[in-house]
Structure 1
Amino acid sequence: MKKILPLLAAYLVLALSSFIMLRPDVVGYQVGDKVVDFKLKNVDGKLVSLADNKAAKGYIVVFTCNTCPYAQAYESRILALHQKYASQGYPVVAINPNDPSVAPGDSFAEMQKRAKAKQYGFPYLQDETQQIAKQYGATRTPHLYVVARQGADFVVRYIGAIDDNSEDATLVKTKYLENAMTDILAGKPATVNSTKAIGCSIKWKRA
């Protein structure tokens, strides 16, 4: 037994080390933080940044993808959020952080197909290096961040989930994102500014 315990401990350390290598330590932005702008490739081949839209009061930044069942379940709700809030100055910007070598269905070509098939009215960007997902602290698909313009900067006002039912939109009881947007559009801090994102783990690049 004494010989087995050190061996088990060694295996445990190795397993934990492998886990840490496969899943980066993601901390990211907190509510109130200023975000660093980015330039990411859209499905139309053009580079997109937050600064591009001078009329935007802010953005609903959504880390999502093609392949995750949760992302698929929320897709129509994300489309509805853009339709509702873009005219109020808060358009959706969707970012796919998944490594296509891990999830081939999340390749740029597949992103283009899905955006066309689902008629996305918002940019669908590829975070090829995964640097933006790490900066934001995104860990799931979908994972949402509302950023509001403050002078020349954009500041995080909400982080987390869209609502409280990841499977069936008809069973939603609390619309976290919409409640936060009601406060933000009224010029107030979101009463609930952070919730737990529920979805698939981001497919990080292999070490």
Structure 2
Amino acid sequence: MKKTIKLISAACMVLLISAFTISKTGGSGGYKIGDIAEDFSLKNIDGNMVSLADYKDAKGYIVTFTCNTCPYAVMYEDRIIALDKKYAPKGYPVIAIMPNDTNIKPDDDLDAMKKRAKEKGFTFPYLIDKEQTVFPKYGATKTPHMFVLKKTKKGNVVKYIGAIDDNYKDASAVTTKYVEEAVDALLAGEEIKEKETKAIGCSIKVAKATSSVN
């Protein structure tokens, strides 16, 4: 009887941990294509709080969840910088958000973010999701994980979710630039051909006791 009770208790604990992990990582939900993305207020590397609403003249946003420590994110940094330089003047600025738990990844803390942004010459805000409340709403699970939003009267509509392009290893070998094609279609008033792709990158790091990341 005691053994049975222990087994039931263990099973319940596993279920609770799994449920919490899913809620933290966005694995069971997050925004879908066509959803309205809530605004947020997150600290930038310059100490200021930044919201999407601050960009009065924006037509939309290229939101990326990224970090300093993931090799995939590092390989994509130059391409993210290029996206901002190309599309911010057209009304689609890049908004970068660092979602990792810095207790697990101390090299992703705010000081490290400031240093990395200066080294790379980031032209966009680099925000920290310190309380890890924003990335689960988006359903982001990787770094990098991209979301293209279109500003409308109803709110910021999610138009694209997924990868930046189809070759994380070599920018020169890319054949399909998913984010660029999505933004170009929106600027032209056309339908996006590929609205959702699989994000390739490192798992977002959450509390060790509940994390399913590697």
Paired residues of 2:99 and 2:132 also in contact (CA < 8 A): yes
Structure 2: runs of 5 or more not aligned: 1-5
SS in 2 for 1:41: strand
Find the aligned partners of 2:154 and 2:17 in 1 and give their Cα distance. 41
TM-score (normalizing by structure 1) = 0.90
Query: CA shift at 1:177, angstroms?
Result: 1.1
Find the aligned partners of 1:193 and 1:157 in 2 and give their Cα distance. 6
Query: CA shift at 1:187, angstroms?
Result: 1.3
Query: CA shift at 1:89, angstroms?
Result: 0.3
Query: CA shift at 1:173, angstroms?
Result: 1.2
Paired residues of 2:25 and 2:206 also in contact (CA < 8 A): no
Query: CA shift at 1:171, angstroms?
Result: 1.2
Query: CA shift at 1:174, angstroms?
Result: 1.0
Matched residue type, 1:36: E
SS in 2 for 1:70: helix
Q: How does 1:127-166 map to 2 (within 5 A)?
A: 127-151=129-153, 153-166=155-168
SS in 2 for 1:148: strand
Aligned residues between the structures: 201
Structure 1: runs of 5 or more not aligned: 1-6
Paired residues of 2:146 and 2:164 also in contact (CA < 8 A): yes
Q: Does 1:118 align with 2:120?
A: yes
1:189 pairs with 188, 191, 195, which one?
191
1:180 pairs with 174, 177, 182, which one?
182
Paired residues of 1:63 and 1:143 also in contact (CA < 8 A): yes
Which stretches of structure 1, 4 residues or longer, exceed 2 Å deviation after superposition? 7-25
Q: 1:156 to 1:22 in 2, by over 3 A?
A: closer
String of CA shifts for 1:24-71, please: whole Å, max 9, x gaps. Answer: 351100111111100000000000000001111011000000000000
Paired residues of 1:160 and 1:197 also in contact (CA < 8 A): yes
Partner of 1:35: 37
Partner of 2:51: 49
Matched residue type, 1:204: V
Find the aligned partners of 1:16 and 1:106 in 2 and give their Cα distance. 30
Matched residue type, 2:146: L
String of CA shifts for 1:133-154, please: whole Å, max 9, x gaps. Answer: 0000000000000001101611
Out of 171-180 and 53-62, give the one that drifted further.
171-180
Find the aligned partners of 1:118 and 1:142 in 2 and give their Cα distance. 16
Find the aligned partners of 1:163 and 1:10 in 2 and give their Cα distance. 45
Partner of 1:168: 170
Out of 9-18 and 76-85, give the one that drifted further.
9-18
Alignment root-mean-square deviation, CA: 2.1
SS in 2 for 1:155: strand
Q: 1:8 to 1:198 in 2, by over 3 A?
A: farther
Matched residue type, 1:73: M
Matched residue type, 2:103: S
Find the aligned partners of 2:18 and 2:37 in 1 and give their Cα distance. 28
SS in 2 for 1:144: strand
Partner of 2:3: none
Query: CA shift at 1:8, angstroms?
Result: 11
